[in-house]
């Protein structure tokens, strides 16, 4: 069982007087930051804030810490160090990737996109239609938001080069079977690109085991600084055209990140691994087992919330009603705009959001006006049962 006291002790936000009493339920927007990340950022700015990789000690320490972050994160994710890169955000990373595919693909070839994705893993790919690339949409069930792998099979043929889909949608919350979907894509001769932004905060996955060719997530939602993290497996990375300076094209981790990186934040990403390892050591498990502990805790807290929302006739719960195959990103459509309700929850010291959360396509597909948006209640493994009680009590008053 997850030791919640230990977990919360790793997040200064829980000891911050100005946040005392506030229950945080907008974690899918961005999580609290863990202490090791803050410590590394502070140390970097105090001791190492110079151009890295130059031959003097402060610079060597800066470069070494950036390398350490890449190496340890790659190991945690089950991929090679060279296969992991940092970019300003996931949106920026997919944009650059789409430019690479723009050159790599021929007119008449096809890409599969979903209408379950956040726009970041959808719009940049759809724009390749301007180049004569055929865009095929893998559609969700309009009632539940579910993405059915059997429906994907019907879209696949020898023209498809790439299948883009989310590990988990930021409004539906259902966890998609990435390994199974990737196997379908591969069997058809296509690559698989997975948006892991909504999933990764609930346990860093073994990307090597999932088998996908691209896996993206955002460190500011996984207890870290504001960076996008991208895994691209070697075979695809070597095949795609360089998007960086011409002389950097042979270095895989530079090839698809043309922006100059934020050195301090890249280095501080090592703190996310410090956290996972410290938690694993405290719990007496391997770092890879931390995800299971997080999930079990989240499922336990989520089911009462799902049951409460499911029992309310005035709201429409999106995604599965059972917590087991879900991330704790729980969105409900109301009978009007969601933002004012989120605002009223703040009167109960509940932090939540009401918006379309850039999931405009999924909301439209489910018949929800993106201008009304949804009320989203999202938490992570550091959330306590008392905070869920506080949320449910507030919802009971305001819904």
Ligand X SMILES: Cc1ncc(COP(=O)(O)O)c(C=O)c1O
Q: Could you say whether residue 26 binds ligand X (CB under 6 A)?
A: no
- Considering only residues 40, 48, 118, 381, which one is a binding residue for ligand X as defined by CB under 6 A? 118
Closer CB to ligand X, residue 218 or residue 265?
A: 218
218 binds ligand X, rule: CB under 6 A: yes
Q: How far apart are CA 125 and CA 7, in angstroms?
A: 38
How far apart are the C-alpha atoms of 207 and 197, rounded to whole Å? 13
Site membership for ligand X, residue 257 (CB under 6 A): no
Candidate ranges 89-97, 252-260, 296-304, 372-380; the one touching ligand X (CB under 6 A): 89-97
The answer to the question of residue 195 lying near ligand X (CB under 6 A) is yes
**CA distances from residue 346 to 170, 340, 356, 379 in whole angstroms, order as listed:** 21, 10, 19, 16
Q: Where are the beta strands (DSSP E) in the chain?
A: 23-24, 84-87, 110-114, 134-138, 160-166, 191-195, 214-218, 228-232, 316-317, 329-333, 350-351, 353-355, 374-378
* Residue 187 backbone phi and psi in degrees, to 5: -60, -25
Where in 157-176 is the site for ligand X (CB under 6 A)?
166, 170
- Considering only residues 310 to 349 of the shown chain, the ones binding ligand X according to CB under 6 A are none
How many whole angstroms separate alpha carbon 368 and alpha carbon 391? 24
Q: How far is the CB of 54 from ligand X (least distance, A)?
A: 30
| Phi (first) and psi of residue 265, to 5 degrees | -70, -40
Burial of 398 (0-12, 13-18, 19+ CB in 10 A): middle
Tell whether residue 120 is a contact of ligand X (CB under 6 A): yes
Cα separation values, 15 from 135, 261, 273, 394, Å: 49, 31, 22, 23
C-beta of 76 vs 219, nearer to ligand X: 219
What tokens does 71 get?
A: 């190496």
What is the nearest approach in angstroms of ligand X to the Cβ of residue 167?
8
CB of 26 to ligand X, least distance (A): 11
Tell me the closest approach of the beta carbon of residue 89 to ligand X, in angstroms. Answer: 3
197 or 212, CB closer to ligand X?
Answer: 197
Rounded CA gap, 333 and 328, in Å?
A: 16
CB 23 within 8 A of CB 373: no
Single out the residue of 230, 215, 198, 172 nearest to residue 30, CA to CA. Answer: 198
Instruction: Please name the residues in contact with 154: beta carbons below 8 A apart, sequence gap of 6 or more.
Output: none
Q: Which of 31, 85, 91, 380 binds ligand X (CB under 6 A)?
A: 91
Longest dimension (CA), the chain: 66
Which one, 63 or 228, has the nearer CB to ligand X?
228
Beta carbon of residue 56, minimum distance to ligand X (angstroms, whole number)? 33
Position among 89, 222, 378, 390 found at the interface with ligand X (CB under 6 A): 89
Among 74, 162, 172, 197, binds ligand X (CB under 6 A): 197
Options 134-142, 183-191, 192-200, 339-347: segment touching ligand X (CB under 6 A)? 192-200
- Give the nearest distance from C-beta 127 to ligand X in angstroms: 16
> How many residues of this chain bind ligand X (CB under 6 A)?
12
Minimum CB distance to ligand X, residue 361 (Å): 12
Give residues in contact with ligand X (CB under 6 A): 89-91, 118, 120, 166, 170, 195, 197-198, 218, 228
């Amino acid at each position: 069982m997850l030791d919640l006291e230990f977990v919360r002790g790793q997040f200064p936000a829980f000891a911050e007087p100005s946040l005392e009493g506030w229950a945080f339920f907008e974690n899918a927007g961005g999580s609290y930051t863990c202490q090791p990340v803050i410590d590394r950022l502070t140390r970097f700015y105090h001791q190492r804030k110079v151009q890295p990789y130059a031959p003097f000690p402060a610079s060597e320490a800066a470069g070494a810490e950036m390398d350490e972050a890449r190496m340890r994160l790659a190991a945690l994710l089950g991929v090679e160090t060279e296969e992991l890169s940092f970019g300003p955000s996931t949106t920026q990373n997919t944009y650059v990737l789409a430019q690479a595919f723009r050159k790599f693909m021929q007119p008449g070839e096809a890409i599969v996109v979903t209408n379950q994705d956040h726009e970041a893993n959808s719009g940049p790919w759809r724009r390749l239609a301007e180049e004569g690339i055929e865009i095929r949409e893998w559609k969700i069930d309009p009632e539940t938001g579910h993405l059915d792998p059997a429906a994907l099979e019907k879209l696949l043929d020898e023209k498809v080069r790439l299948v883009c889909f989310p590990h988990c949608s930021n409004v539906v919350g259902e966890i998609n079977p990435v390994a199974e979907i990737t196997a379908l894509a591969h069997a058809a001769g296509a690559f698989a690109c997975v948006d892991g932004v909504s999933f990764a905060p609930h346990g860093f996955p073994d990307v090597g085991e999932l088998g996908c060719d691209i896996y993206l997530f955002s460190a500011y939602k996984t207890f870290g600084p504001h960076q996008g993290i991208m895994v691209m497996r070697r075979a695809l990375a070597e095949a795609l055209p360089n998007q960086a300076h011409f002389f950097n094209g042979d270095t895989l981790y530079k090839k698809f990140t043309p922006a100059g990186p934020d050195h301090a934040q890249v280095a501080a990403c090592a703190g996310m691994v410090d956290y996972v390892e410290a938690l694993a050591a405290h719990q007496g498990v391997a770092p890879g087992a931390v995800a299971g502990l997080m999930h079990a805790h989240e499922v336990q807290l989520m089911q009462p919330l799902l049951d409460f929302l499911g029992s309310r006739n005035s709201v429409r719960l999106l995604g599965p009603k059972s917590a087991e195959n879900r991330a704790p990103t729980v969105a409900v459509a109301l009978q009007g705009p969601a933002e004012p309700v989120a605002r009223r929850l703040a009167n109960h010291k509940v932090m939540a959001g009401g918006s379309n959360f850039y999931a405009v396509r999924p909301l439209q597909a489910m018949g929800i006006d993106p201008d009304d948006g949804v009320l989203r209640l999202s938490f992570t493994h550091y959330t306590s049962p008392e905070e869920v009680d506080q949320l449910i009590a507030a919802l009971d008053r305001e819904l």
